[in-house]
Each structure stands twice: as C-alpha cells, then as structure tokens.
Amino acid sequence: MRSRTSSRTGYRADATSAIIRKRIYSVLLLMAGLFVVVLGRLVWVQIVKAPYFRELALEQRMRPVPVDPKRGTMYDRCMRELAVSISADSVYAIPAEVSEPAKTAKALAHVLGMGEDALLAKLTATQQTVWLKRKVDHEAAMEVRRLSLPGIAVAESGQRFYPKDTLAAHVIGIAGIDNQGLEGLEQYYDAELRGVRGQIVAERDATGREIPEGRHSYVPPTDGNSLVLTIDEVIQYICERELEIAIAETGSTRGLILAMDPKTGEILAMAMRPTFNPNSYGKYPSEFRRNFIVSDMLEPGSTFKVITAAAALEEGIVTASTPFYDPGYLKVEDRTIRCHKPGGHGSETFMEALENSCNPVFATLALRLGVEKFVQYARAFGLLEKTGVDYPGEATGMMHQISKVGPVELATYGFGQGISVTPLQLLNAMCAIANGGALMRPMLVRKVIGADGALVEEHVPTKVRQVISSSTASELSRMLQSVIVNGSGQRGAVPGYAVAGKTGTAQKPERGRYGDKRIASFMGYGPASDPKVAVLVILDEPSSDVKYGGVIAAPVFRAVMQDIFRYMEIPPSYAVGMPQGTAGSGNSVFVPDVTGKSRAEAEAGLKEVGLLWRHEGIGDVVTNQVPKAGSQVGAGTTVIVYFGHEELYNREDVEIQVPDVIGKTLKEAALVLGARGLGVDPSGKGLVVRQTPAPGTHVKKGAIVTIFLEE
C-alpha cells in the first residue's frame, strides 16, 4: 500500500518538475526573443537611422534667429534713388537664457521706451526667440549691447527709407516693419523687392543655454532686386509743385497731375494732393494714401469730347468743316440739353464746335454714331477695361449696358456726362491720339535689376491696338491745336510751342442728381508735331469763384508743360512772340516739311504758303529746319533751313561751327543758335553787334554763345 502511494507521489513530482522546466524554457525563449527585438531596435536606431536622429537632435539644439534681407532700391528713370534700404538694429530675446526676467525688463524699459509689463510678458514667453523691438535707433542699440544682459541680443536688419519724403509717395507706396510691401509699387513688386531671409544659428542645450564650443552657422540673406521706374524725378517735382500752388489758389479739395510719354505709355509723373510722407505714413489718414489716379472713377466732362470727335471723324460722319447750327439747346425726347453759352453759338463748323466745347453738337454726334458704335470706340480707347498698368487696385471704366442706353443717355455720353473713367484711362486715350491712333499700355517700371546690378527683366513698350487711323489722329490733332489757339484752351498755350489740348468742366453727381460741385480739368500734349509728353490736370471741387477747366486748370497745364519742355531741352516750335495759329485762322500757317528737298524745292514750298527762308550750311539737300514741320507760325515768318550732315545737329561729341548771328534780333539769334544745339547768353537790347565765340569757331554741342546787342 505504501509502495503504491510512493509511486504515485514520485510520478506527480516528476510531472511538476517537467512543467516547471517547460515554463523556464518558455521564459528563457521569451527573454531571448525580447533581447533579439531590443537588439534589432538598437541596431535600427543607432546604426541604420543614426544620421536621421543626429540631424533631428541637432535641429532641436539649434536655435535660429532670422536675418532680414535688404529690399531692393527704387530708382527713377535717370537712376536717382527714390526708395532705399538702410541698416537698422532690432532687439530680440531668447527667453530660456534670461535668468532674471523682471530685472531684465526693468533695465530695458527705459532704453527701448516700452512698458515693463509688456517686456516681461515677452521675456517669459515659451517661444525660442522673440522680438522685443524692431528698428531701434543707433543709440538704443548701443546701450543694449553695453548692458550685456543674458538672453538679450541685437540683430542688424534693413529699414525702408524714402530720401525724397513725399515725392511720388503714391507711386512708390509703403513697406511694413517686417520688410513686406503694403501699398503701391512696394506691394505690386514685393516678390522682386523683398529678397530671401537669412539666419544666425547657435547650438543650445535643453534649457536654451548656448553650448560652449557648440556648432554655430550663419546663412546670409539674399537682398532683393531693384526697380528702375519710368517716373522722372524732375518732372514729378514740377507736377507736384504746380499742383500744390493750384490747390492753394483754387481751394480744391484734392487734385492731380498725370504726365505720360504718349509714344511708349511710360508714366513720367503721377502727382496727387493731399499726400503723405511714407517715412511716417502712420501719422496720416489712410485716405491720403489712396492713389485715385488709378483707383477712382470720375465723370470726364468735356475732355471726353476728344473721344466722340475721334469716333465721328473716323466713321466719316463729320469733317473739320462740317457745318452745324447751335441755337443754345438740343431736344432729346423729353430732355433739353443746353449749351454753356446763352443763346448758343449759332452757325459753326465742327472745328469751331470743338473750339467752343459745344455740348449740343457733341450730343448730336453721339446720336449719329449710335449706341453700338459709340460703345465700340469707348472700348477701343480702353475706357471700359483696365489699362493693365503695373500697379495694384486699378479700377475700370463704367457705363450702362447697351440695352439700357437710350437716346438721352447716349446724347449725354457724347459730352462726357453719365460715363465714368479713371484719370489714367482718360489720359491714355488722349495719348493714343497723340501717338497716331495707337493705344499703348501704361507702365511704371522700365527694368528689374539684381543686387549685383545685372539686368533681370526689361519691360518694353506694348501696343494694345490701333484705335483710329493715323490720318484721323493727325486731323484731330490739328483741331486740338486750334482749341488752344482760338478756343476754350487759350490759357493752356505754351509760349514758343505748338500744343494740342482740351478743356473740361464736369458737374459732380450727388445722391443721383447733379449739384453745384465741379471737377475742372485740362489735358493735352506737345509739341504737337512730335509729341514728347502728355499731361492731365484735374482740380476736384474748387471753391474759387470761377470753376471752369479752361480758366483754372489750363494755366496749370501751361506752367507744367513749359518747365517740362525746358527740362527735356525740346527746341521751340516757333519764336516767342510770334503768333500761333492754324491754317486758315487769321494770318497763321503750318510750316511745311522741306527736309530731304533741294534748295529750289525748299524755297518754292515755303514761299507757296507765305513763308520766308534763310539757309545755313553747305550742301544740296535740306537736313534740318526751324521751326519744325507742322508748327503753327505767322505768315511771313522766316524759316531757317539747314544743309549738310544731319548728325551735325544731333550728336553730342561733334564740334559745331558757330553761326554768324550779327545783325539779328535776340529771338532770331536764339532760334539760329538753338537749332545748332548751342546756348545763348544775351547782353543788351536791339540787334546783335558782337558775339563770342566769333562766327566760324568750332565748339562742342551745348556751348554758350555770348551775344551783345545794341539799339
């Protein structure tokens, strides 16, 4: 019995021992498996992925501080600086390194001109780096460096500076504290001007303290590209100066002067008042920064009549001599369109209607054109679409849909009422007439150049479309000259130059009705025979007694054009004091083109129109003439005809033979010398009795000839 029991006990012990061994083996196997997994993971982390984790750890230890690039410079067309970037210091903190935030805030508060609480909040922030103050002055930056506070440092960055203050402020725009363009060309070309940020990187421990002998690196910023504008600083100054005077004299709420090259579409000046200083733009109301030449629409008034005239001439509806009769009004359905002259102008030709700015005649022309044709030409002149100028926020023109334009609306469109355009659209349309009927795209930037001075991109003039034929443009130009000589634009006449232009006086709509407020305007171009510049003057809501464009805006045009011609060294079309007129108007005639003709042909051509002639130089073919072809001069005027090589009068490096001006009047002498590219310094009155240098002397172009006159 005991033996059987012992046997059973031994069997159970053996079974238990086997189970224990099996469990031990399982545990050992499991541990071996875990060891293999851990070993594999270690191999993966420390060998296979080691480069990745090394970089990740380095990134965690490296604390970058951004370094702003310098924005590109803006130059005018003659490479004069309008916007530059100068070095400025900014103070930043690394909160983890600031050992005593409260004391640090107290020490910096007075230096930076900030409150202690605001500084303390920044010094205890959870960010890696935080800007305390941007663009501090030099003295403050030096004081921060002298204090040598833990976790506080000074970084150099670029600050935008506008050396000419308010000059061309609306064109250039403004840049923000973070080196970003906010308005104007600063905004439109921000991607070109901004550049690429760099950074300063230092290796730090988990608490943010810099690791001694740790890795340091500096990635330099890439400075932005620069812009060469179409704006001319001198022309811009002329326009702003004359606008300032006009605003003061007329009491206008605002005003503008826009100048363009009609052949290229380049904007030479864009002046507006009120204005602001972009160096401290925050001190001015935001509406002062609005570029309303591009972004605002207005009713053009009678300046729009040039568009109606162009369409009517091109369609063959009228010629300059087409007769009209103006009784002082025109009935259109239930409306009466009145002439500004009580009783009307009576019998008049179309040219005289343009000179008189006669509303009934232009309302009649619009009705004869019809809605579709009228809208077709308005669109062709670019008045119902954006011009495409490289500037932000451009508006487009506005008029009723064709289906909603009735006879009354169409008639008022004919003289510029009820239709809205931007000032830029209006002058650009005028430029098309000056440019032989070709509409150009306005532009403000000529070139983009890199920080190294290399050309990045060049903007070339772009022709949008041919709006009217060159012959129509030439005929209309002749008529617009007559507006200056015989019509409403006489106060816009520029002494010595043949110019073309049109006056405008528009009523301002108020709450759906036309009230007493006016917009006085004048636009034109010159010299008429070879236009170099077109100018638009607008005075908004003048408070002066007289509010007509021909009275208060035309003299501003004259003053601007006179100085621009002088600055651009454009020779006069005729002698000052000589009557300017149009063919068939009084005793004035157009000077014919005799260049390329023989002596006999030139003499015959001039005598045929009642002009005298005097020849200069040696040769058989006319190479130059003064006044130029197309100039309007009085009958009996002497035209100086030059023979010889044309480059004699055009090249800068060639020597010029001083002509003999003894016995001539001051005007005649100035005309002869000016045509040769020589200046004149007169002394006395009467006729020239002596000159220095002597006749026949060879001098450089631009030399001054002193003349002595006696009565």
Instruction: Please say if 302 is a catalytic residue.
Output: yes
Mapped onto helix, strand or coil, the DSSP state of residue 199 is strand
Distance CA 509, CA 500 (A): 29
Name the β-bridge partners of 440.
463
Distance CA 280, CA 286 (A): 12
Distance CA 707, CA 693 (A): 9
Distance CA 319, CA 313 (A): 6
130 Cβ contact partners less than 8 Å away, ≥ 6 residues apart: 92, 93, 95, 122, 123
Residue that has been written with the tokens 């009580």 in this structure: 342
Tell me how crowded residue 466 is: count the other CB atoms within 10 A of its CB: 15
Tell me how crowded residue 40 is: count the other CB atoms within 10 A of its CB: 11
Distance CA 243, CA 257 (A): 7
Q: One-letter amino acid identity for 426?
A: L
Tell me which H or E stretch contains 172. helix 169-172
Burial state string for 512-548 with b = 16 or more CB within 10 A and e = fewer than 16: eeeeebbbbbbbbbbbbbebbbbbbbbbbbbeeeebb
Number of H helices, E strands in the chain: 21, 33
Distance CA 422, CA 295 (A): 7
158 Cβ contact partners less than 8 Å away, ≥ 6 residues apart: 68, 69, 70, 71, 85, 86, 87, 88, 179
* Ramachandran assignment for 491, one of left (phi > 0), alpha (psi -120 to 50 degrees), beta (any other): alpha
Distance CA 510, CA 528 (A): 37
Distance CA 298, CA 507 (A): 10
Active-site choice (157, 302, 521, 573): 302
Contact 326, 358 (CB under 8 A): yes
Alpha helices of 487-595 — where are they, by DSSP H? Answer: 554-567
Tell me which H or E stretch contains 673. helix 666-675
152 Cβ contact partners less than 8 Å away, ≥ 6 residues apart: 91, 92, 93, 98, 104, 108, 132, 144
Q: Dihedral of the CA atoms 47, 48, 52, 54 (nearest 10)?
A: 0
443 Cβ contact partners less than 8 Å away, ≥ 6 residues apart: 230, 264, 265, 266, 267, 389, 390, 459, 461, 462
Distance CA 349, CA 425 (A): 29
- Which residues belong to the active site? 302
